[in-house]
Structure 1
Amino acid sequence: MLRRVLAAAGRPLLASSFVSSGLQTMRHPEILAPVAAPVALAIAERVPGLPRDAVRLVRINGAVHVGGGVLLAAGRLPRLAALILAASLVPTTVAGHPFWTEGDPGKRLQQKIHFFKNLSIFGGLLVAAAVHEERPR
């Protein structure tokens, strides 16, 4: 019982940042496209069917975040949704927070904080994917 209550409360909280940022990204992908381009285009070269346009790739990633976040929050296919969000978070984090390339100590610290925040969210998604909820009888 407690596990169901915690999962029902935790899933929407975990999903909220994906839905919020995903909607923003879908509306204005051009803001993130220059930063995401090196990683996004490298992935597109290796995955057949993906567009070779950074703006479209960023918009697709935003849609994945919204869709996966909504599914996770609603408790619909939560394990699959958590895995999809976790997989999409890897390139998002590498492209968006490469603290190891930053020369300015203040900016490096900020990027490092965001990188490890995303790493923590990644861990939470893995836990959410591993949890098996029993169906009520």
Structure 2
Amino acid sequence: MALSRLLARPLLSTYFLANGVQTLQNAPALAVDAAPVTDTLAPAVEAVAPASVHVPEDPQTWVRISGALQLAAGLALATGKAPRLSAAVLAGTLVPATAARHRFWEASDSATRNQQLIHFAKNVSLTGGLLIAALDTEGRPGLAWRAQHATHDAKREAALVGARMRAKVAQAT
């Protein structure tokens, strides 16, 4: 593993570890800000979720789920366990959390607006870093490349086997 990945993943995860703990500790207060987002998100998730899956409607439950996911995925990213998946999960939690907590466009005074804009921009930047981490194949070919080349190799191998079989049949006759 490259030294940059060895250092970058734990550094990137520190925000999510701290934020996950803070979110779990302050879920009731954060649920107030999250309610407009969860009121929109819950029906959308319920529409695509299987009937056997219970989709919570309570904003506090959504906040707790987000905090737990950030804590678990942050720990996984920091330790290098499923880094691509954990980075994608963190990005998935960061988008609604940003929409809930850093709505700079609704701020009434310029100081609050500037602070919210800074946090919004920070979260957008973190999302970019997480997307890079989620797509990082560590120099190895990704799944799509492997599938495409496996298909190509199988077709080539089948053609070679077919040619050998035709040659054997021609020799036998």
Same fold (TM over 0.5): yes
* Structure 2 residue matching 1:133: 3-state secondary structure: coil
Cα deviation, 1:63-100, whole Å, max 9, x if unaligned, reads 01001101111101101111111111111111110111
Provide the C-alpha distance between the structure 1 equivalents of 2:87 and 2:112, rounded to a whole number of angstroms. 30
Q: Name the counterpart of 1:92.
A: 97
Q: Which has the larger radius of gyration?
A: 2
Q: Name the counterpart of 2:127.
A: 122
Opposite residue 47 of structure 1, the aligned amino acid is V
Unaligned stretches of 5+ in structure 2? 47-53, 141-173
Provide the C-alpha distance between the structure 2 equivalents of 1:42 and 1:100, rounded to a whole number of angstroms. 18
Unaligned stretches of 5+ in structure 1? none
1:28-47 to 2 correspondence within 5 Å?
A: 28-47=26-45
Offset at residue 11 of structure 1 (A): 0.3
Checking the alignment, whether the CA contact within 8 Å between 1:50 and 1:57 is kept in structure 2 is no
Opposite residue 29 of structure 1, the aligned amino acid is A
Opposite residue 14 of structure 1, the aligned amino acid is L
Offset at residue 28 of structure 1 (A): 2.4
Q: Name the counterpart of 2:56.
A: 51
Offset at residue 124 of structure 1 (A): 0.5
Offset at residue 62 of structure 1 (A): 0.2
Provide the C-alpha distance between the structure 2 equivalents of 1:36 and 1:107, rounded to a whole number of angstroms. 18
User: What value does the CA root-mean-square deviation take over the aligned residues?
Assistant: 1.3
Q: Name the counterpart of 2:15.
A: 17
User: TM-score, normalized by length of structure 2?
Assistant: 0.73
* Structure 2 residue matching 1:47: 3-state secondary structure: helix
Point out 4+ residue stretches in structure 1 off by more than 2 angstroms: none
Provide the C-alpha distance between the structure 2 equivalents of 1:28 and 1:36, rounded to a whole number of angstroms. 12
* Number of equivalences: 133
Checking the alignment, whether the CA contact within 8 Å between 1:72 and 1:81 is kept in structure 2 is yes
Provide the C-alpha distance between the structure 1 equivalents of 2:55 and 2:16, rounded to a whole number of angstroms. 21
Q: Name the counterpart of 1:79.
A: 84
Checking the alignment, whether the CA contact within 8 Å between 1:22 and 1:65 is kept in structure 2 is yes
Opposite residue 93 of structure 1, the aligned amino acid is T
Q: Percent of counterpart pairs with the same letter?
A: 45
Provide the C-alpha distance between the structure 2 equivalents of 1:110 and 1:17, rounded to a whole number of angstroms. 17
